[in-house]
Chain A
Amino acid sequence: MTPGERKSLIKGVAFISPWILGFLAFNLYPLIASIWFSLCDYSVLSQPVFLGTQNYVDLWRDPVFWKALQNTVVFAAVAIPLSTFLSIGLAVLLNQPIAGQGIYRTIFFLPSLVPAISLAILWQWMLNGPMGLVNNLLRPFLDLLNLAFHIQLKAPDWLNDPNFALWGLILTGLWGTGQAVVIYLAGLQDVPAELYEAAELDGTSAWQRFVHITLPMLSPVIFFNVLMSIIGALQTFAVPYILTNGGDGPGRSLLFLATYIYQNAFDYWNMGYASALALCLFLLIIGLSLVTVRYGERKVHYSGK
């Protein structure tokens, strides 16, 4: 290294030093410590005692862990496609030349601003079995269906029914999808208008143009959003925690990996077990992200920019 190179290296490292400190204290150290704690009996109140792989053996045999894992994966697998379809659909609608576009955009964006605490309490009320607005709007439709088909559909008691609680959470999430709408809309506005004009001259239908122009041109944005949604969905904690008044729902139907980490760490002071769970969550995130990136590399269309 020449003296000049060394000087610029020192300068560069000096500028990024706040991040290096943060990285060591809040990323690298916790990851390494988690591996160590996960092999120990550790309650934070006393020194960790080495246990070997006991925590992982317990985890493998713990039905609650499998429930949390299942809920987490099912939630991500249902909520992410639904919110992706909804937000792309809304963005396409917003991209039409319509008066008041800015007002509509604001309306769809507003819910994503609502703090988790307000959001969860509001939806606890919206999803209330007898008195909630959702069911009161749903009932006339169900009555109509019941009358027409001689069936007995009843509005669910969303958050108190193990079969519906997860759907209640998904509905809550769909309401807050506005950020993605704004991002997709920006992506749509980047698609050159000539592409559509040329395709229209060739006599293509609106649907063909959507599939063959809009989707490929939007694919890098979709890819980025889906990746971020995966990381977000897998760590979901605050909204289900508040929706259940600090619990995990009927029949643990709103227990997620993050919730179970929290319970073990701060309700049972079982930090060793919590660390083993945390590493599982981390591996899940890395694994699913890598799968998405691999898949994305093949499917995403990058225009020559």
Chain B
Amino acid sequence: MKKNFNTTFSIIALLGLGFLFLLPFFWMVSTSLKPLNETMKLPPEWLPSSPQWHNYPDAMKAMGPFWLFARNSLVLAFLNVVGTVFSSALVAYGFSRLDWRGRDGVFFVLLATMMIPFPVVMVPIYGLFRALGWIGTFQPLWVPAFLAGAFNVFLLRQFFLTIPRDLSEAARIDGCSELRIFWQIILPLAKPALLTVALFQFMATWNDFLGPLIFLARENQYTLALGLQALQGTISGTPWHHLMAASTLVLLPVLVLFFLTQRTFIRGIATTGLK
């Protein structure tokens, strides 16, 4: 009896809250398909009188070189994913599969660096990239990815620790080099963890706003995030139907990626919270 009550209560609460959480998505898509005058109707209509699909190409045109922005975002995401996965795996191997003096102390330093957020260090980093002549180029937005990210190293190290030691010992006795053990034994076994890191990094780069904002200079280098912000800022009498269409387009690749990899994704997030 009591159990039934709990379940009924949970279902009602979940339905209500689930509805509230979906509402903004619905509103975004609904607005994106309305003609401009209907977006300003009071009280608002839930659905457009007839869906204006041309809002999407119109919004892309309003943003300027949409496909160039998309390409910039994709290239940066690709470089960041490749760089982070390989460098973080290499570093995580050094912190988990090898024994050397001072290792755990150095690992503690790595964990501590997670407490240094980008806004704290961005001024000297900007100066550094300026001295290198990299401001207004893509380099500041992908080269650092090849120098491993603390969080990803941590994630991969935890995974590498679960792989039995005997596997590498046997290979070592057979005279395998450390790099070969890393490449041919550990990496193939760590595929799920590597995929998780790749997904997280893709999202982080795709979503990044502050980095492109300070390091890029010319419009033809803009990522989608910057292009969309420019659209928001340039037009007066806010065309909400275009802004919602463009916001949907920027979100879409992330959603597609999520639904393709849902299982890995959710498992990855769940493990980040459990030591």
Q: Which residues of A contact B (CB under 8 A)?
A: 1, 5, 8-9, 11-16, 18-19, 21-23, 25-27, 29-31, 33-34, 37, 44, 90, 93-94, 96-98, 104-111, 113-118, 121-126, 130-131, 133, 136, 175, 179-180, 182-187, 190, 206, 220-221, 224-225, 231, 234-235, 237-238, 241-242, 245-246, 257-258, 261-262, 265-266, 271, 274-275, 278-279, 281-282, 285-286, 289
- Residues of A near B114 (CB, < 8 A) are 231
With A15-B182, A110-B258 given, can you name 17 additional A-B contacts, CB distance below 8 Å? A14-B94, A16-B91, A22-B147, A26-B144, A30-B120, A44-B130, A107-B22, A109-B266, A110-B255, A117-B225, A179-B269, A183-B273, A186-B271, A224-B275, A262-B214, A275-B123, A278-B122
- Residues of B near A107 (CB, < 8 A) are 18, 21-22
Q: B145 CB to closest chain A CB, in angstroms?
A: 9
Q: Are B248 and A115 in contact (CB under 8 A)?
A: no
Q: Which residues of B contact A (CB under 8 A)?
A: 2, 6-7, 10-11, 13-14, 17-18, 21-25, 27-28, 31, 39-40, 42-44, 87, 90-91, 93-95, 98-103, 106, 109-110, 113-128, 130, 144, 146-148, 150, 153, 178, 182, 203, 206-207, 209-210, 214, 224-225, 228-229, 232-233, 240, 243-244, 246-248, 250-251, 254-255, 258, 262, 266, 269-275
Q: Are A117 and B87 in contact (CB under 8 A)?
A: no
Q: A281 CB to closest chain B CB, in angstroms?
A: 6
Q: Are B87 and A13 in contact (CB under 8 A)?
A: no
A221 to B272, CA, bound (A): 10
Q: Are A18 and B147 in contact (CB under 8 A)?
A: yes
**Which residue from B42, B106, B115 sits with its C-beta under 8 Å from A231?**
B115
- Residues of A near B123 (CB, < 8 A) are 30, 33-34, 37, 261, 265, 271, 274-275, 278
Ordered by A's residue number, 21 sampled pairs between the chains whose C-beta atoms are within 8 Å are A8-B99, A18-B146, A30-B124, A33-B127, A94-B14, A107-B21, A110-B258, A113-B254, A117-B250, A131-B44, A133-B24, A133-B44, A183-B269, A183-B273, A186-B270, A231-B117, A258-B119, A261-B119, A278-B119, A278-B120, A281-B117
A262 to B117, CA, bound (A): 13
Of B31, B100, B178, the most chain A CB neighbours within 10 A belong to: B100
Q: Are B87 and A19 in contact (CB under 8 A)?
A: yes
A122 to B269, CA, bound (A): 25
Total cross-chain contacts (CB, 8 A): 273
Q: B213 CB to closest chain A CB, in angstroms?
A: 8
Given A23-B110, A113-B255, A278-B121, are A238 and B270 also a contact pair (CB < 8 Å)? no
Given A25-B147, A115-B250, A231-B115, are A104 and B14 also a contact pair (CB < 8 Å)? yes
- Residues of A near B103 (CB, < 8 A) are 12
- Residues of A near B271 (CB, < 8 A) are 186
The secondary structure that dominates the B interface is helix
Q: A32 CB to closest chain B CB, in angstroms?
A: 8
Q: Are B247 and A118 in contact (CB under 8 A)?
A: yes
Q: Are B6 and A117 in contact (CB under 8 A)?
A: no
- Residues of A near B28 (CB, < 8 A) are 118, 122, 125
A163 to B270, CA, bound (A): 36
A109 to B255, CA, bound (A): 11
Q: Are A16 and B106 in contact (CB under 8 A)?
A: yes
Q: Are A125 and B244 in contact (CB under 8 A)?
A: yes
Q: Are A108 and B21 in contact (CB under 8 A)?
A: yes
Q: B243: nearest residue on chain A (CB-CB)? A: A121
A153 to B161, CA, bound (A): 59
- Residues of B near A12 (CB, < 8 A) are 94, 98-100, 103
Q: A152 CB to closest chain B CB, in angstroms?
A: 20
Q: B259: nearest residue on chain A (CB-CB)? A: A106
Q: Are A30 and B125 in contact (CB under 8 A)?
A: yes
Q: Are B270 and A19 in contact (CB under 8 A)?
A: no
A105 to B109, CA, bound (A): 35
- Residues of B near A130 (CB, < 8 A) are 42
Q: Are A117 and B117 in contact (CB under 8 A)?
A: no
Q: Are A31 and B116 in contact (CB under 8 A)?
A: yes
**Which residue from B27, B98, B101, B270 sits with its C-beta under 8 Å from A5?**
B101
Q: Are A33 and B44 in contact (CB under 8 A)?
A: no
Q: Are B17 and A238 in contact (CB under 8 A)?
A: no
**Which residue from A13, A115, A121, A285 sits with its C-beta under 8 Å from B207?**
A115
A220 to B23, CA, bound (A): 33
